[in-house]
Amino acid sequence: MKRLKVCWISNIPSPYKTAVMNLIGQETDLIALYEKQGESDREDSWYDRSFHSFTGIYLTKQNAKRIIRDQAEQCDCLIDSDYSNPYAMYAVECFRRKKKTVFMQADGGLAIPRGPVDFVISQVMKRCDRYISPGSETDKYYAYYHIPQDKISHYRFACMSAEEIARAGMMREQKEQYRQQLGFTNRYVLLSVGQQIPRKGYDILVQAMNGITEDIGVYIVGGEPEEHVLQYVKDNHLDNVRFIPFLNKEQLAQYYAAADCFVLPTRYDIWGLVINEAMAYGLPVISTDRCVAAVQFNEQCGNALIVPAEDPLSLREAIMKLYQDEALSQKLQAGSLAGIRDWSLENMKDDLISILNSHVRTV
């Protein structure tokens, strides 16, 4: 079979995407076009710019159109991960003019009514040939914009290799050791990982912790908290709420292995890869109905308690329910371990290459 030449346009070199691109680049000739090198609300060390088996190019106002036109001439297909960016929109039109297959790839999706803008989004989306989705919840997002189901292909959206998933399960068996190393003193430990931004809902989580038993502690990893969140913790003397700076992958693994439950109080996450990570460590999950990963995995493997977004009372009740019901907690733990087993970067790569091979037009 002819080795495909693939152009993939994306926003930033995120760790999971670099990892899967390196795998795909071993089996195709892959060029990745990045709209920018980074974003102001992320630690620079979070990015992965180790482009081992593919070529990564950063687009600028000066070079973007020329590079995109060259790729449309040379490549067999385009994967578009950011339909709303002007560079991506230009790339779609260039590849269409060359009669090359255009894929829209979504990491997830939540439809939010935007009035007349919805029509514009729908028209932009319809410029693609095929649509790549991580599952049923994202299919609903595509359907909202009138994309036919028969044009959608599925892949397993992953952030860990099969080896990393297996290692996470083994680390879980040393839970007490990691708890001692990290100095955990609460009987029951909640973990949350995410950017300290309003969308993640940490103001909701600290409200849920107000008045809860001191036996339960929460560690929120991800940097300096928002000022009003920190002030709420201080004003209400919430000694069982602790904020942890940004951690590297190895450091964070110890927190996952030592925790009893993972909580993501998000107001909006089109996926939420931290859910994948938590599941690999066998953690039961508590999240909101606005977290696509939590909702989808719970439907597949029954590993989570899903609460309404922006509802501190429901979140507190879910935390207490898991704390008090060991049988339920064990059931959700088993669901997490079983549900994440096949969601590896290697399988994600296989899924994407299979989609490309099945639908790329040869011209």
What is the 3-class SS of the chain, one letter each residue? CCCCEEEEEECCCCHHHHHHHHHHCCCCEEEEEECCCCCCCCCHHHCCCCCCCCEEEECCCCCHHHHHHHHHHHCCEEEECCCCCHHHHHHHHHHHHCCCEEEEECCCCCCCCCCCHHHHHHHHHCCCCEEEECCHHHHHHHHHCCCCHHHEEECCCCCCCHHHHHHHHHHHCCHHHHHHHHCCCCCEEEEEECCCCHHHCHHHHHHHHCCCCCCEEEEEECCCCCHHHHHHHHHCCCCCEEEECCCCHHHHHHHHHHCCEEEECCCCECCCHHHHHHHHCCCCEEEECCEHHHHHHHHHHCCEEEECCCCHHHHHHHHHHHHHCHHHHHHHHHHHHHHHCCCCHHHHHHHHHHHHHHHCCCC
Rounded Cα distance, 315 and 286, in Å: 8
pLDDT value at 321 more than 70 = yes
Report the alpha-carbon distance of residue 205 to residue 90 in Å, rounded. Answer: 41
In this structure, the answer to whether residues 176 and 321 fall within a common structural domain is yes
Q: Are residues 150 and 170 in the same domain?
A: no
My answer on whether 329 and 243 are in the same domain is yes
In this predicted structure, the answer to whether residue 66 has a pLDDT above a threshold of 90 is: yes
Domain harbouring 220, CATH code: 3.40.50.2000
As a whole number of angstroms, the distance between CA 6 and CA 104 comes to 13
Exposed / middle / buried, residue 112 (Cβ in 10 Å: 0-12, 13-18, 19+) = exposed
- Res. 112 pLDDT band, cuts 50 70 90: confident
- pLDDT over threshold 90, residue 114: no
Q: Is the pTM of this model over 0.85?
A: yes
Confidence of residue 362 (pLDDT cuts 50, 70, 90): low
Whether residue 189 contacts residue 217, with contact meaning beta carbons closer than 8 Å, is answered with yes
Closest CA to 211 of 349, 317, 301: 317
Same structural domain, 131 and 205: no
Task: Give me the pLDDT at residue 44, please.
Answer: 82
Q: Average pLDDT in the 54-70 region? A: 97
Residues 331, 211, single domain; the answer is yes
Amino acid identity at 75: C
Question: What number of residues does the chain have?
Answer: 363
Q: What is the residue-averaged pLDDT of the chain?
A: 95
Residues 42 and 98 in one domain: yes
Q: What per-residue confidence (pLDDT) applies to 88?
A: 96
The pLDDT of residue 1 is: 63
List all residues 6 or more positions away from 86 whose beta carbon is below 8 Å from its beta carbon. none
| Gap between the Cα atoms of 156 and 136, Å rounded | 12
Does 240 share its domain with 324? yes
Give the mean model confidence (pLDDT) for residues 198-219: 97
Range of the domain at 240: 162-340
- pLDDT the model gives residue 285: 98
Look at residue 282 in the predicted model and tell me its pLDDT: 98
Query: Cα 153 vs. chain centroid, distance in angstroms?
Result: 18
Q: Quick one: angle between helices 249-258 and 162-172, nearest 10?
A: 40
Section 293-304 average pLDDT: 98
pLDDT grade for 84, boundaries at 50, 70 and 90: confident
Residue-wise pLDDT tens digits, 225-240: 999 999 999 999 999 9
Q: Given the DSSP bridges, would you call strands 101-105 and 77-80 parallel, antiparallel or unpaired? A: parallel
Of the pLDDT bands very low, low, confident and very high (cuts 50, 70, 90), residue 99 is very high
Domain count within the chain:
2
CA dihedral for 343, 346, 347, 348, sign (positive or negative): positive
**337-340, long-range: CB < 8 A, 24+ apart:** 337/169, 337/279, 337/282, 338/301, 339/279, 339/297, 339/300, 339/301, 339/303, 340/165, 340/276, 340/279, 340/280, 340/297
pLDDT in tens, 330-351: 999 999 999 999 999 999 999 9
Nearest-Å Rg of the Cα atoms of the chain is 21
**Is the pLDDT confidence value at 40 over 80?**
no
Residues 55 and 167 in one domain: no
Percent of the chain residues past pLDDT 90, beyond the cut = 91
Confidence band of 94 (pLDDT split at 50, 70, 90): very high
* 53 and 77 in a common domain: yes
Looking at the structure, do residues 50 and 185 belong to the same domain, yes or no? no
Q: Which two tokens stand for residue 128?
A: 């693609």
Judge if 118 and 229 occupy the same domain. Answer: no
At 266, is the pLDDT very low, low, confident or very high (cuts 50, 70, 90)? very high
Q: Is the pLDDT of residue 43 over 90?
A: no
Residues 17 and 71 in one domain: yes
Q: Is the pLDDT of residue 284 over 90?
A: yes
Instruction: Return d(Cα 302, Cα 75) in angstroms, integer.
Output: 42
Q: Residue 286 pLDDT more than 80?
A: yes
